[in-house]
Amino acid sequence: MLDPKTGLPPRFLRTPDAARFLGISIRTLEKHRTYGTGPTYRKIGGRIVYALPDLQGWVENGVRRSTTDVTPCRVFPARPLTPAEKATL
């Protein structure tokens, strides 16, 4: 996906494009941002942008080989975290 104006690949994605990249709804990504459970973002002026490596890293936190895998990283649902979940961050 090249930027039509510059012909370069994008370094940052706005919320709709980041949600499409992740395969989730815009609203879910916004909830993740609100609850602090989503990927790292940047606020430039009034705009929220996501760096591609940050999106890819967040997705990598959810990598599993089996349902019994226990790994130090976890992708939490888009909701307020419980105190026990916050302690695992």
Range of the domain at 21: 12-63+76-87
Q: How far apart, in whole angstroms, are the C-alpha atoms of residue 79 and residue 28?
A: 9
Contact of 61 with 54, CB cutoff 8 Å: no
Identify which of 12, 52, 11, 18 has the alpha carbon closest to the alpha carbon of residue 33.
18
Long-range contacts of 56-59 (CB under 8 A, 24+ apart): 58/22, 59/22
Q: Is residue 6 part of a domain?
A: no
Q: Is residue 7 part of a domain?
A: no
Looking at the structure of the chain, the number of domains it has is: 1
Question: What's the whole-model pTM score?
Answer: 0.75
Q: What is the pLDDT of residue 11?
A: 86
Residues of the chain with pLDDT under 70: 1-9, 71-72, 89
pLDDT digits (tens, 9 = 90+) for 25-50: 999 999 999 998 999 999 999 999 99
Reported in sequence order, the residue ranges of 1-89 that DSSP labels E, i.e. its strands, are: 12-14, 42-44, 47-51
Q: Is residue 1 part of a domain?
A: no
